Amino acid sequence: MSENSETAYLAIEGGRVVEARSRAPGRTRGELVFTTAYTGYEESLTDPSYEEQVLTFSYPLIGNYGVREERFESDRVHPRGVVARELTDDVAEWLESEGVPAVDHLDTRDLVTGIRDEGAMKCGISAGPDASEEAALEELENCIGMSDHTDIGSQVSIAERTTYNADGDGPRVALVDCGAKGSIVDSLVERDAVVDVLPYDATIADVEHVDPDVLFVSNGPGDPENFTAAEALVEEYVGELPLAGICLGQQVVANALGGGTEKMAFGHRGVNQPVRDLRSGRVVMTTQNHGYTVADPGPLEVTQVNVNDDTPEGLESDELEVITRQYHPEANPGPHDSLDFFDDVLALAGHEKPETTPSA
């Protein structure tokens, strides 16, 4: 595909319309967010946590090492639209084949600073031969907030139980798929766990059927308060099974145990978020992608915090056998500073910790 010179328009909440270049045609809408990641664009674009959002890359050139399917975190692109300073043809062709509108040749620094000042905002995109400002504004007008996507789990979850590493010798993990990244399953399987991935709306009977040693709530998109089925599972099994969670999973666990969550202004999205462990004082670099955070941990102890804003990054309870992380320990292509989280999770089920942590 030759470089597309057709015009595109990005309409932003408040009425501003930005002209750009169309790289993958179409009309779309969503919450406009940004990531500071400078590598891992394939992983970001296939992360289910970006469902119903329009992803802006702050790094100026996206696509400089091509597109390889083995790097994908799921089976499709999840952002509703993509914005960059410049997209290579490889990425543009991929997004067009996925039916995801994409635009470039606009001032992404201005967009990012605007989001940081005003918070994540609704937007609409019109790109391609029929693009118009009016169409972009119409998409914006029809855009709804993330908390109003009340059944977003159905868009990203598996439809029925799937088991990985059925012959493994490690603990059996029931992973509630609220939009799970593939690398979470990979990290558990690498430690010889048997992983039963359950739909986001799994019932108590579904969990009892697999008889797990650990209940694990995955990452996912949107407002944790809309994942009521997963919350009910946590309420049912707290004190009976070890509980774990990543990202949205941490928020669901906190809500289920009497805590609370809130929407952030622009969230944490990137590969260089510093997290301090309050027990050891150690700081690790992490990958993150979330727009909500735990405001009240309830009975859980805050064990890790974000260095930039002190939001909770780790919650634990020895008595309740709960351990959660707001960031992604399993992130690809990295960093891998906190992969031992999966050893800690499986240790709750009696699995012996290795002397050295395997790489994911």
Catalytic-labelled residue, pool 247, 316, 336, 351: 247
**Is 289 marked as binding a ligand?**
yes
* Interior/surface letters 21-45, b for 16+ CB within 10 angstroms, e for the rest: bbbbbbbbbbbbbbbebbebbbbbb
308 phi/psi in degrees, rounded to 5: -75, -35
Whole-Å CA distances, 308 to 166, 178, 267, 273, 311: 41, 27, 12, 8, 8
330 is catalytic: yes
Catalytic-labelled residue, pool 268, 328, 336, 351: 328
Q: Look-up: residue for tokens 């595109």?
A: 8
* Interior/surface letters 57-71, b for 16+ CB within 10 angstroms, e for the rest: bbbeebbeeebeeeb
In a 13 Å sphere around the CA of 199, the CA atoms on its Cβ side amount to 16
290 is catalytic: no
**Is 183 marked as binding a ligand?**
no
Tokens encoding 280: 């050891």
- C-alpha–C-alpha distance, residues 166 and 192, integer Å: 10
Tokens encoding 320: 């309740």
- C-alpha–C-alpha distance, residues 265 and 224, integer Å: 16
209 is catalytic: no
**Is 291 marked as binding a ligand?**
yes
Catalytic-labelled residue, pool 178, 290, 330, 351: 330
**Is 220 marked as binding a ligand?**
yes
**Is 292 marked as binding a ligand?**
yes
**Is 5 marked as binding a ligand?**
no
**Is 32 marked as binding a ligand?**
no
**Is 140 marked as binding a ligand?**
no
Known binding-site residues equal 49, 220, 222, 248, 251, 289, 291-292
Residue numbers belonging to the annotated binding site for L-glutamine: 49, 220, 222, 248, 251, 289, 291-292
Active site residue ranges: 247, 328, 330
